[in-house]
Amino acid sequence: MKPTLEQYASFFQHSDAAVVDDVRDFASWYVGRGTAEFDPRRISDVDYRTYLLHLGTDGMSRGEMHQKAESLQRFFAWIHDEGLIGADDFKRLQVSPLILHPSKMKFRKTNDGDTHESKELYRLRTLYHISEILNQSTDLKGAIDSTLKGLLEVLGLRTGWVSLWKETAGFIGVEARDNPHDFCLVSSCNLPKGLEQDDRRILRRPPDCYCQRLLREGRLSHAVNVVECDRLHEAEREAGGSEGFLYHATVPLITKDASHGNLNIATKDWELFSGSDLRLLSIVGQQIASAIERGKLFEQTKRQQQRIERELSIAHSVQASFIPKQLPDVSGFSLAAEWRSAREVSGDFYDVFPLDGDRVAFTVADVSGKGVPAALYMATVRALLRECGGGCATPGDALRELNKKLLAYSSSDMFVTMFCGILEPGSSTIVYANGGHEPPLLKRASGALETLPSTGPLLGVSGQEPFENASVTLAPGDVLFIYTDGAVDARDETGREYGLNRLKKCVETFPAS
């Protein structure tokens, strides 16, 4: 602030010190409104008009206000001559008349005779209603329309409009692709004829109006009292009238991280919006901007969820392709299998493949955890088992080699339980190894129920313990049931677990094959 003002002061004689003091007063007021520094390049007619209104409502005499205004006019002329502001900005700062008539410098009244408390209660109810509309509606365009109408009603005004950036307008469902400007008109209420005609051409066409330019440059952070409106003046000149509307209050629709557009409330006179009015406007502007942000976040989340669902559906298909489509025909035996994932993908799997001498190898396994991590680990386990299993003489050897590879290649803290067996049809014998898996249930033809316990540890945890082999001979009518813990952990709609006892009772009812 100091260099500019000191440079300016050097242009005046001692007798004109009052002019410099007037400019200093304006600069102090400007900085006191929260601006970091006094930069003449950022002064707008909104600042100037608001300052004049501040002086008048603060009780300054008309003569003193004229002096302040004339001092500022000289300052604006100087910064224009110095090239700090352009011709358009300088023209806007030539406010005419310089001082508002006292009859126009009044707080706008909505319902004469109402008490302050009743007005504030009415505003709070309106804010609550607007908040409900914006928070609950899935139709943001309709919610903005309703908000604009409600806001005009509580302010006792009739005309307003909302313009949003093209990207945001498209997001809320307004056709913005062919819009001639990157601001799109998305809502309006009781526009004067000059703005309404020809598909509201004046509000839709480029270039930026003044409030849009302020928003684009990041110079609007809250509701401002009065902006002399380019669009309304254009309507008066070109399109058959603005019905007396020349000014509007402007509300930026912004959040901490994003700018979405402006909401404008038009007036016919220089009506000073009260502090309560401006707070109401700013709160509603923040609510609209927040509703847009929430809508965008919801839409992003929805798209991401759809993408994840598509990817999981593909993953399910890929995982299902690992499961054998057909089981081999084995003389004297009937084989049956079923795989269902609790989620889109899972860590459970089974595999069946032939060996030499009519033997058949089979395995049922369960990876710790659920979902995508378990499914990926399952694919690794299956591939490694196929790689090392074919060269092993016994199931115990296969599990030992698989365990070595898992410990060597995988840095995951996941583990695997696995039942691995080889069926020898000629002798009706199954040689097996059980690495920490659920004990299979063997129902004899006599009805007796047996279990095949573990013969080794979990896979992927330790390389110290051995994997022993065991064998069982099947007689006609015997049924061997191998399962994962998903069968006993399953819950019904009441949350009750299926449990091992119910599973055993179910197996006991199996008919002799």
| Segment 367-370 long-range contacts (CB within 8 Å, at least 24 positions apart) | 367/414, 367/415, 367/416, 368/414, 368/415, 368/416, 369/414, 370/342, 370/343, 370/346
Q: What is the pLDDT of residues 40-64, one digit of tens each?
A: 777 877 777 777 767 766 778 878 8
Local confidence band at 111 (pLDDT 50, 70, 90 cut-offs) = very low
**Residue 371 one-letter amino acid:** G
Q: Is the dihedral of CA 359, 360, 366, 371 positive or negative?
A: positive
Task: Write down the pLDDT at residue 513.
Answer: 60
Dihedrals phi, psi of 365, to nearest 5 degrees: -140, 160
pLDDT top residue among 293 and 124: 293
What does the alpha-carbon distance between residue 192 and residue 160 come to, in Å, rounded to a whole number? 10
What does the mean pLDDT of the chain come to?
84
Local confidence band at 451 (pLDDT 50, 70, 90 cut-offs) = very high
Task: Select from 391, 456, 450 the least CA-distant residue to 420.
Answer: 456
- The secondary structure of residue 103, as a DSSP letter, is G
pLDDT reading at 104 higher than 50: no
Task: Write down the pLDDT at residue 102.
Answer: 43
What does the alpha-carbon distance between residue 210 and residue 227 come to, in Å, rounded to a whole number? 8
Question: Which of 86-100, 165-179, 356-370, 484-498 shows the lowest per-residue confidence on average (mean pLDDT)?
Answer: 86-100
Q: Is residue 122 within 8 Å of residue 288, measured between CB atoms?
A: no
- The length of the chain in residues reads 513
Task: Write down the pLDDT at residue 335.
Answer: 92
Q: Where are the beta strands (DSSP E) in 206-344?
A: 224-228, 247-254, 259-267
Dihedrals phi, psi of 224, to nearest 5 degrees: -115, 150
Dihedrals phi, psi of 206, to nearest 5 degrees: -80, 165
What global pTM score does this model have? 0.61
Burial class (CB in 10 A: 0-12, 13-18, 19+), 242: buried
pLDDT reading at 313 higher than 80: yes
Q: What is the pLDDT of residues 396-416, one digit of tens each?
A: 999 999 999 888 877 667 899
Task: Select from 409, 316, 420, 428 the least CA-distant residue to 361.
Answer: 420
Name residues whose C-beta falls within 8 Å of residue 219's C-beta, 6 or more positions apart in sequence.
42, 44
pLDDT reading at 259 higher than 90: yes
Q: What percent of the chain has pLDDT over 90?
A: 34
Measure the CA angle with vertex 137, ends 132 and 143; round to 5°. Answer: 85
